[in-house]
Structure 1
């Protein structure tokens, strides 16, 4: 088995997540399985669903044979960089967003108070007309 020297971050590996360019990470090793997707007995969608994370659990749960494990080594392109984060960083939405929405609704009701007052006024007027004609 060749000595692996290329270190690949999980973020870089997760960018290769399409049928034409697919890398998976299993037990700290990175595999370029793009050319194997059509041949995979479980279908390409199983492999594509395992991108962007270490898919060791999924790989072991599938019960791969020893020959499948040996074949997998031919697709190895490097090792996962241990200094990089385990998962790609996600953008965190500010907790202030609901407050901004509430503030916007409050501003609208302050500026457009005439609409509900007009509706109530017309309703009262129509009610009096109806009551007076009876």
Structure 2
């Protein structure tokens, strides 16, 4: 027995025939509305999950760094050519990492000033600004 029948039988026991029919119509509308609500919510959640999955795939594709194996060779590379190009690229990257870097720049004399010298400069500037 459905909830709709239970409501009509128990709650509408004292109502007339026309009132029962109106109540049944309203209950049918409510049940139809709830069923459409549930189906649309199910479809929306499925669509959201699908879009989320596609978005995460796109994010991984964007964050993955592409490695250029060769440029301007003008030929279609076979699998063996790709493997050799990858090995050459790995050797090149390893050699690049072991190369010594540039030396650090030395600090300027102004940057090495003591705190007292900086304070005196600030005081002098402040007094010059007030004198003007």
Class of the TM-score when normalised by the shorter of the 2 chains: under 0.3
TM, length-normalised to structure 2 = 0.25
More helix as a share of residues: 2
* Bigger Rg over Cα: 2
**Which protein, 1 or 2, shows the higher relative CO under an 8 Å CA cutoff with sep ≥ 6?**
1
